[in-house]
Structure 1
Amino acid sequence: MDDMTLSFERTQSVAIVGGGPGGYEAAIAAAQLGAEVTLVERAGVGGSAVITDVVPSKTLIATADAAVAARSAGDLGVQLFAKGGDGKPLQPEVAINLAAVNRRLLALARQQSDDMRASLVEAGVRIISGHGRLEGDRGVIVSTGPGGTDFDRIEADTLVVSVGASPRELPSAKPDNDRILTWTQLYDMKSIPEHLIVVGSGVTGAEFAGAYMNLGSKVTLISSRDQVLPGEDSDAAAVIERVFKRGGMTLLSKSRADKVENLGDRVVATLSDGRTVEGSHCLMAVGSIPNTAGIGLEEAGIQMTESGHIQVNRVARTSVPNVYAAGDCTTFVPLASVASMQGRTAVFHALGDVVIPLERRRITSNIFTSPEIATIGWQQKDIEDGKIAGVVHKLPLAANPRAKMMGVKDGFVKLIARQGSGSVIGGVIVAPRASELIYPIAIAVERRLTVDQVSRVFAVYPSLAASITDAARAMHVVDHTIYGEA
């Protein structure tokens, strides 16, 4: 027997409904453990995360970042010019071919989906294209024909539901794939919108508002809260808000859009106080709803929330013992990385492999604004609210030598340590590529390292990562007391 394969009295079977990050990882893990695996997916392997959400949106943001880098190169002494007919230099403008950008990002998304499908086939996973619906706790009915005319039935010892979520639609602002759009419909636009109204200042709204601002659109962001990115670190949100305003974005805080209308050549958003905002297009970023309706979950006895999310525990198990769920359709953290880990954890638990239950405080998350915001663990507000005894130390990134060389002015590194022991329990980074820089803090949180242990790690000089070391040194533990500024 191969060392990587668990021995069973008989071959176990696993059926997975939904091929997004959670379903894909569950399928790969189950195949590695020697199970017979069937994956049902209606849109394509990778699900919306790969095809219409994470991969295309972050590719668009990368293009926006490149545009900003080109426009700001003059600050570093790099000047772009062309010679006119009279031989004098002309200052060219950065032009964005949105149609070409969208073709590229959709091609990249499809390629990623194809690569994932090839990996599943190579692992021996049976893939069925169609709509899956649970039949009890061990069966899946798959509609494979047009209009639901052809059916296939799968029996399995373990079921994994990973059906994801879709953009929430409001009756008073119905997306039309023309001028009123969800984030999955943006990629049909042929040119940069003249004036994009973004309704919703959460992660999705903030990311797209910043991206289209950097691509050259006039942007108005309508937020029902008093600050963008509600629920995130307030210092981080303040940095992004400052960057947005400096870039020319109009922020309408404490405002609620009651309705949005497509008037043919423009859109009009009517606010709850009677004010109106006119633009060329409107992006509705008002959350998402799980794709759990009508797939037999309630009939199988699976416990759901009022919002339609599947109740799961820390090993991704539902209220029905042999049914698991992963991803945005569950009550756990809605991140692609979390969905992947849930999928693997579910299969490990079902097939008897070693399982480490998921812990919310050890999950890193990132917001792909410019600069990015990366967080992990306990946050400053938790300390201020008395949930845990800790100390916070924040270092502005502008003081970092590498940041000065790169022309970076916005951002900071914030470390959070437990009072007394000095163990690192959280952190926030606002910086270019914060998604990469958060990793050492994530390791510190996972391995319960103290600030002294982190401070003894050599950081390259000069580097942005050195600010993490500097923050840890500032929190040196003396007589079991942490010294540092909150």
Structure 2
Amino acid sequence: MSGFDYDLFVIGAGSGGVRAGRIAARYGAKVAVAEEYRVGGTCVIRGCVPKKLFVYASKFAEEFEDAVGFGWTTDKVTFDWATLVENKDKEIDRLNKAYLRNLEGAGAELLLERAVVEDANTVRLTSGRKITARYILVATGATPFLPRHLPGHELAITSNEAFDLKRLPARIVIVGGGYIAVEFAGIFSGLGVETILVYRGEQILRGFDDDIRNHLAAEMSKKGIEIRTQSDVSLIERSGDGVRVTLNNGAVYGAGQIMFATGRIPNVLGLGLDHVGVEMTPHMAIKVDAYSQTAVPSIYAVGDVTNRVNLTPVAIREGHAFADTVFGGKDVKVDHSLIPTAVFSQPEVGTIGLTETQARQGFAKVDIYKSSFRPMKHTLSGRDERTLMKLVVDGESDRVLGCHICGPDAGEMAQLLGIAVRLGAKKSDFDATMAVHPTASEELVTMREKWTG
């Protein structure tokens, strides 16, 4: 495409930006990708990957305890935080290099500088260099929210810093009730840290099925996590090597750390978008259409910076669809409905489709199937933990509207259930499927008792 330095200039080398750049380059486009920190974005550097590794680490304490019931002895078991952090860093370095190789292999050029938008077809790098491109794609993700109005907020950490603490605190206060908050509560608790979860809502995991929310909260409490709902932090003060946290109800906690996990905000500040006519949503996300195009025809945006569905696979799909549409000559829209998702809490949550509340709002008759049981493993381990599975069914068409699981490997099950629900499977299809025995997932095809409404 003559007249421009590049066909595509991508700002941000996270999951969505890298995928878009790679696919566009494979279509023959001349592509540059600018990144001011490290390639891989939130997921690889400070999100999904290190978090899942830490979840694995935190589960071993219970695994060692459970092993005793199966005849194992577990004397002299110890944990070293520094070793976990070091090995996590090595894995991130490996993935960072893999992302670099993939970009280079596709023929895209990587520029390790911050880039801001000058006009509809121009970006400016930190070095002062100006670059023109027929299309600009913004894929700068999101950043943890920290309440700047809160006295003492500068003493708090977010998930960004939690992965690199010099040492584990004896006690931590985690503020929030979403994915990140409940996942880190399980991580710290599993690693032996006394954990208090503070959430201003009535129950954790707002937006998830109520039965799953209540079940998870009960199971987390069994593990020793103190959950304080309908509460918020009003003051943070320095106290020795730690902090003193005061809640709005007057309760006071001393802790080694306080961590805020109250959501993430689109990373748009200082990008120059407001000067070129790119429109923003009320929550300061980049406003885009079904093809990820902004109000400026040459500027697109994908991933968390658009605040549509803030999940890594969604950003990847959006980036791929953008490249297919703009450079591949295809007409590709991303369907943001029926997205399976997992919360790597302890126990794990996996879900796809409508909650019971959502279904009852949109369907005349809804059938509910539920099963709560003790996993087979715990018959010998003696652990007091139960799994909950739930199917939400359209009572008139028999179509499965939603599946919700809280228990071991729930995320793995949700991925496969996502295929069935997307294909419009009926409850009778579940019933006709032979069970795999003995497994927890067989409960999904053997549930018969229903609640109708």
TM-score when normalising by structure 2: 0.92
1:125 aligns with 2:101: no
Question: Which one of the candidate residues 230, 247, 262 is aligned to 1:254?
Answer: 230
**Which residue is 1:358 aligned to?**
334
Is residue 2:68 matched to residue 1:74?
A: yes
Residues 366 and 452, structure 2, Cα contact 8 Å, conserved in 1: no
Letter in 1 for 2:191: L
Shift of 1:36: 1.4
Deviations 1:23-64 (A, max 9, x none): 011112212222111111111111122112221111111100
| Corresponding residue of 1:53 | 47
1:427-454 CA-to-partner distances (Å, cap 9, x unmatched) read 1111212111112210012222222234
Given the alignment, which residue of 96, 105, 111 partners 2:79? 96
Letter matched to residue 117 of structure 2: L
- Which residue of 2 is the match for residue 201 of structure 1? 177
Residue among 467, 474, 485 paired with 2:443: 467
Counterpart code for 1:105 = K
CA displacement at 1:405 relative to structure 2: 7.3
Post-superposition shift, 1:460?
Answer: 2.5
Alignment of 1:46-445 (within 5 A): 46-81=40-75, 92=76, 94-143=77-126, 150-171=127-148, 172=150, 180-386=156-362, 389-398=365-374, 409-445=385-421
Q: Does 1:449 align with 2:449?
A: no
Q: Which amino acid aligns with 2:14?
A: G
Whether the 8 Å contact between 2:139 and 2:305 is mirrored in structure 1 is yes
Which structure 2 residues correspond to residues 3-14 of structure 1 after superposition, within 5 A?
A: 13-14=7-8
Alignment match, 1:44: 38
Q: 1:383 to 1:446 in 2, by over 3 A?
A: closer
Aligned residue number for residue 478 of structure 1: none
Contact 2:174 2:261 in 1 (8 A): yes
Cα deviation 1:333-353 (Å, max 9, x = unaligned): 111111111111122222254
Residues 1:34 and 2:10 aligned together: no
Q: Higher mean Cα deviation, 66-75 or 17-26?
A: 66-75
Change (3 A) 1:170 1:484: closer
Distance in 2 between residues matched to 1:376 and 1:123, nearest whole Å: 34
Give the equivalent residue in structure 2 for 1:147.
none
Q: Does structure 2 conserve the Cα–Cα contact (< 8 Å) formed by 1:422 and 1:451?
A: yes
Measure the CA separation in 2 of the matches of 1:446 and 1:468.
16
What is the rounded CA distance, in whole Å, between the counterparts of 1:389 and 1:154 in structure 2? 58
**Structure 2 alignment gaps of length 5 or more:** none
Q: Which amino acid counterpart does residue 139 of structure 2 have in structure 1? A: S
How far apart are residue 424 of structure 1 and its match? Answer: 2.2
Following the alignment from structure 1 to structure 2, what is the Cα–Cα distance between the partners of residues 220 and 448?
A: 41
The 8 Å contact of residues 349 and 404 in structure 2, kept in 1 or not, is answered as yes
User: What do residues 120-140 of structure 1 show as CA deviations (whole Å, max 9, x unaligned)?
Assistant: 111111110111111222222
Q: Could you tell me how far 1:153 is from its partner in structure 2?
A: 2.5
> Bigger relative contact order, structure 1 or 2, given CA contacts below 8 A and separation 6+?
2
Q: What is the Cα deviation at residue 426 of structure 1?
A: 1.8
> Which residue in 2 is equivalent to 1:18?
12
What secondary structure does 2:275 align onto? coil
Alpha-carbon spacing, 1:326–1:292, altered in 2? closer, same or farther (3 Å): same
Distance of 2:88 and 2:215 partners within structure 1: 28
Q: Return the alpha-carbon distance in structure 1 between the equivalents of residues 124 and 413 of structure 2.
A: 45
Distance change in 2, residues 1:192/1:9 (3 Å):
closer
Q: Give 1:389 shift.
A: 4.7
Is the CA contact (8 Å cut-off) linking 2:215 and 2:388 kept in structure 1?
no
Per-residue CA distance 1:194-213 (angstroms, 9 max, x = gap): 01111112211111111111
Q: Counterparts of 1:303 and 1:95 in 2: how far apart (Å)?
A: 53
Question: What code does the residue aligned with 1:53 have?
Answer: G
Structural RMSD (CA): 2.5
Q: Is the 8 A contact 2:169 2:257 kept in 1?
A: yes
Counterpart of 1:211, as a letter, is I
- Report SS of the residue matched to 2:115: strand
- 1:233, CA displacement in angstroms? 1.6
Which has the larger displacement, 379-388 or 325-334? 379-388
Residues 172-221 of structure 1 show CA distances to partners (whole Å, capped at 9, x for unaligned) of 25565xx6311111133233210111111221111111111111011111
Give, in whole Å, the separation in 2 of the partners of 1:285 and 1:452.
41
Asked if the contact 1:382/1:388 (under 8 Å) is kept, the reply is no
SS at match of 1:115: helix
Q: Secondary structure at the match of 1:110?
A: helix
Where 1:117 maps in the other structure, the secondary structure is helix
**Residue 394 of structure 1 contacts residue 485 of structure 1 at CA under 8 Å; is this kept in 2?**
no
The equivalent residue for 1:3 is none
Residue deviations 1:78-102 (CA, integer Å, cap 9, x gap): 3323xxxxxxxxxx4x422111111
